[in-house]
Structure 1
Amino acid sequence: MSRSFLTLPPEVVEQTLCNVRPMDVAAVSCTCKALFKLIYQNDSHIWRNLFLQLFDDPRRSGDKRLPYDWRGELQRRMRARNIILGQRNGQSIRGTSAHKHFSAIETIIRVAFSTGDFQTQLMSRSMDWVEDVMKNAHGAGYPLLSMMGTKTDDKLLIPFEYPISTSPSEPTSLRARLCVYSGLSYEDKEVILASPLNDNNLRVRSRALVYDLDRYNQASHWGPLSWDGRRTVDWQLLLAIVLVISLNVHDHVSYVEPCLHVFHPVGFPHHALTLPQVSRVEIRLTGPVSLGIGVVWCPSATIAPQVDTASRSTAIFQDADFVEGVHVLLLHLEFVGADLDAPESKLFPDRPLLHFSGSTLSEKGHAQGKVSGHVCMTPDREVQWTLQTDADDGPLWSSVGIQIGGVGSAMGVAGIWTRAIHGMEPPTGPFWTWRLD
């Protein structure tokens, strides 16, 4: 009489299933009632082992959900992967709704944020999985960043809505957020903007967003925040800031070459491949910090006021004479104290508003100016930095930025600098800071 798989001891069957791919386990469960019952029983042993094959242990990254839904979370992640890759059971699928596409992107982002603290020596299985999904999405001719099906040959489409709306759509914001996190490399592919207008120049479109002075007011806190006063991140603007800075640094600033790896592949928070050989940014919103930050400033002191914000004309940014000044400064920042009573601290009591002070440094390390500011959480759980630079005769510059990747991310802070006294004539421009030591 022939022997079946089920004649083996249950413990052996379980251990065997724990060492195969999740999709194969799902297929095996459909072969008979006995295996279905074994696989989908209340005991989470099989699903926990299947989960930990691919992802970091959530119990080590502070996930306090007990008991953890190993099966539900694994199924959710695999479903997102299949949607993004356009596959079901290895076969190409079409017609998936936009809602499911964006739910899948949200799941991928949650996976990235479920990893533990950034470590230079330890690899993250979760981040390896995320990067694999993104690479395969592009390699399969199914661009992850153009989920609505818009595709031009082998070019990625950056999801900018234009003209800019005071209420940008959630799908567009979500795609822009993923672009910021994933760290687009202009060296790998030609990147163009998905725009209803004819010109698809990446730098022109990015500049048009960044130097649109109408965006910076009290409601947006003079930074890359929403216009409605809710203090949530404007991801389209943040993406434009990152692109403007990275392209300018790539073109003009050879003396920061050792730091250029932050621009590509950059990446999601905490991943060991994000900043090799560089310590993570020590931003712990629960205690003192000591930061040494290198700052990339990309100001435009005379061009920005000429932007025609009414017609959204981009002609000035196509002019060959349009040149941005790129300045690399050094900052040394030290923790001053936490303000537990600040309104921002009430949002997340375990991550209160922190004050810091410091100085700008010359290339030789001599102090040149004083800096002060604070770090706090936004309502949408992002890390907001606010800095003020003082000259001898008073406040000079004000800067508001968002730490890309959240608490503990080594990717740095991107944002907008303006005059400290708002209401005066510009200049205004973007900046990006990152940790040097």
Structure 2
Amino acid sequence: MKRSNGIPSLSPEIIEHALIHCHPRDVAAFSQTCRAAYQIVYHDRDGYLWRQLFLSYPFDDPRESLQGLRRYTPFDWKGELQRRVLAEAISHSPLATPEELTDTLETFLDVVRTASPVTQGYERVPSQSLLWVVDVLQSSNMLRSPLFDHYNTSQNLAHLRSYLALTLDDYDEDDVCGMEWMRVLRTRSRCYVYDLGNYCRENDWGPFWKNGCVNWVHVESIINVLLSNLAELSEPSLIDIRPPCGLEATRAYSAPGATTRNSKDWPGVEGTWARYVSFLDHRDLHGKPSRACCGID
């Protein structure tokens, strides 16, 4: 009797075990080698293969997120992993279109929103999903893409930048481009924040649209102004008032002491509150209104 060699001679369980150690792109390439391989990859009835590929990428387990705890439908392991891998590829592509970049931003936002919450005893353990987002954004420099020249019209971009809170905009003293980027960004943000035309009864005098939705361009501008002002503090006693920033600070229960807080006080209302106010120094406007208000040299 002729002995079968190759894939047909191996059990699906052994093949799956080997595939979970591969990159999803390699798994997709493997599926094109023969019909049996395609069946194993894309007709995985129990979802084991794609679940393991997702978790070993690595990403946080969505079943442990706050949204996952309320989920009534099964998580699409294959579809979500493919979506994230595609977003990573688009962010590095020089041929990406504005529409593709917008979809990619939405993917990143979904990853941030579904990050696992901080748990007691593991407060210093970072989210794998958030580490992935930061790594992709840093390696691709996507947030400074020329296609976002009119980024003030992009709610998705402003939304993500609000979560990041300038943590990816650090620069060294000899980084001329970085300094210029921050100067322009701060000027643009101040123009938006201190434009009284952006405040009215219809938007509750705040960073909202008239329909009640958040205006993320306005929110990002406020964050940029406040953090830029805080960066100039020279009084040592004021340094500690700077809030934690970055994607890790967006995780559920990431606030100091949140994991040991009374379960009935989940938003952290109890305790001492401090109010900080940031005003525009109007001396910046005196004599040079065009530069301060419009960002024109």
Quick check: TM above 0.5? Answer: yes
Which residue number in structure 1 is paired with residue 30 of structure 2?
28
- How far residue 299 of structure 1 moved from its aligned partner, in angstroms, is 2.3
Which is further off, 26-35 or 183-192? 183-192
Q: Which amino acid aligns with 1:59?
A: R
For residues 190-240 of structure 1, give each alpha carbon's deviation from its aligned partner in whole angstroms, at most 9, with x where no partner exists.
Answer: 16569xxxxx633322221111112111111111112xx212112222112
**Cross-structure match for 1:364:** none
Give the alignment's TM-score, normalised by structure 1: 0.55
Coordinate RMSD, CA, aligned: 3.4
8 A Cα contact 1:47 1:71, kept in partner: yes
Larger fraction in strand: 1
2:115–2:127 contact (8 Å) kept in structure 1: yes
1:242 corresponds to 2:223: yes
- Aligned with residue 127 of structure 1, among 114, 119, 130: 130
3-state SS of 2:25 partner: helix
Question: Number of residue pairs matched?
Answer: 273
Q: Any idea what the Cα deviations from partners look like across 1:101-132, whole Å, max 9, x if unmatched?
A: 10111011101101122341433121121112
CA–CA distance in structure 1, aligned partners of residues 267 and 162 of structure 2: 28
In the alignment, is the contact (CA less than 8 A) between 1:123 and 1:271 conserved in 2? no
Give the TM-score normalised by structure 2. 0.78
Unaligned runs of at least 5 residues, structure 1: 87-92, 151-158, 162-168, 195-199, 308-312, 320-437
Within-5 A mapping of 1:290-301 = 290-300=270-280
Aligned to 2:282: 303
2:214 equivalent in structure 1 = 233
Are the structure 2 counterparts of residues 14 and 298 from structure 1 closer, same or farther at C-alpha, using a change threshold of 3 Å? same
Question: Deviations for 1:5-39, whole angstroms, at most 9, x for unmatched residues?
Answer: 44222211111112222121111111111111111
Partners of 1:291 and 1:269 lie apart in 2 by 21
Alignment of structure 1 residues 273-422 onto 2, 5 Å: 278-280=256-258, 289-300=269-280, 303=282, 314-316=290-292
Residue 102 of structure 2 corresponds to which residue in structure 1? Answer: 102
Partner SS state of residue 297, structure 1 = coil
Distance in 1 between residues matched to 2:191 and 2:10, nearest whole Å: 67
Indicate yes or no: 2:197 matched with 1:217: no
Q: Is the partner of 1:290 in helix, strand or coil?
A: coil
Counting aligned pairs with the same residue, the percent is: 26
Query: Which amino acid counterpart does residue 107 of structure 1 have in structure 2?
Result: T
State yes or no: 1:47 paired with 2:50.
yes
Provide the C-alpha distance between the structure 2 equivalents of 1:51 and 1:147, rounded to a whole number of angstroms: 32
Distance in 2, Cα, partners of 1:193 & 1:234? 23
- Give 2:282's aligned amino acid: I
Structure 1 residue aligned with 2:76: 69
Unmatched segments (≥5 aa) in structure 2: none
Partner residue of 1:111? 111
8 Å contact from structure 1 (residues 225, 231) kept in 2: yes
Residues 129, 35 of structure 1: alpha-carbon distance in 2 compared, 3 angstrom cutoff: same
Is the 2:165–2:224 contact (alpha carbons within 8 Å) kept by the matching residues of 1? no
- Greater helix percent: which structure? 2
Q: 1:145 and 1:50, CA in 2 relative to 1: closer, same or farther beyond 3 A?
A: same
- The answer to whether the Cα contact below 8 Å between 1:83 and 1:100 also exists between their aligned partners in 2 is yes
Aligned position for 2:166: 184
8 A contact 2:59–2:128 mirrored in 1 = yes
Q: Which residue of 2 aligns with 1:56?
A: 60
- Give, in whole Å, the separation in 2 of the partners of 1:132 and 1:284: 36
Aligned partner of 1:8: which letter? L
Question: Which amino acid is 1:235 matched to?
Answer: W
Q: 1:24 to 1:284 in 2, by over 3 A?
A: farther
1:42 shift after superposition: 4.0
1:112–1:126 Cα contact (<8 Å) kept: yes
- Equivalent in 151, 174, 178 of residue 156 of structure 2: 174
| Residues 59-115 of structure 1, C-alpha deviations (whole Å, 9 max, x = no match) | 1214214222111111111111111121xxxxxx52x33212101110111011011
Contact 1:118 1:269 in 2 (8 A): no
Larger RCO, structures 1/2 (Cα 8 Å, 6+ apart)? 2
Task: Provide the C-alpha distance between the structure 1 equivalents of 2:55 and 2:294, rounded to a whole number of angstroms.
Answer: 51
Letter in 2 for 1:244: V
Q: Which residue of 2 aligns with 1:251?
A: 232
Match of 2:92 in 1: 85
Distance 1:160 1:133, change over 3 A: closer
Aligned-pair CA distance for 1:295:
3.7
Give the distance between the partners of 2:61 and 2:278, measured in 1 at CA: 40
Q: Distance in 2 between matches of 1:266 and 1:115?
A: 10
Q: Secondary structure at the match of 2:276?
A: strand
Distance 1:65 1:116 in 2: 18
Paired residues of 1:183 and 1:267 also in contact (CA < 8 A): no
Which residue type is aligned with residue 219 of structure 1? E
Superposed displacement of residue 268, structure 1: 6.0
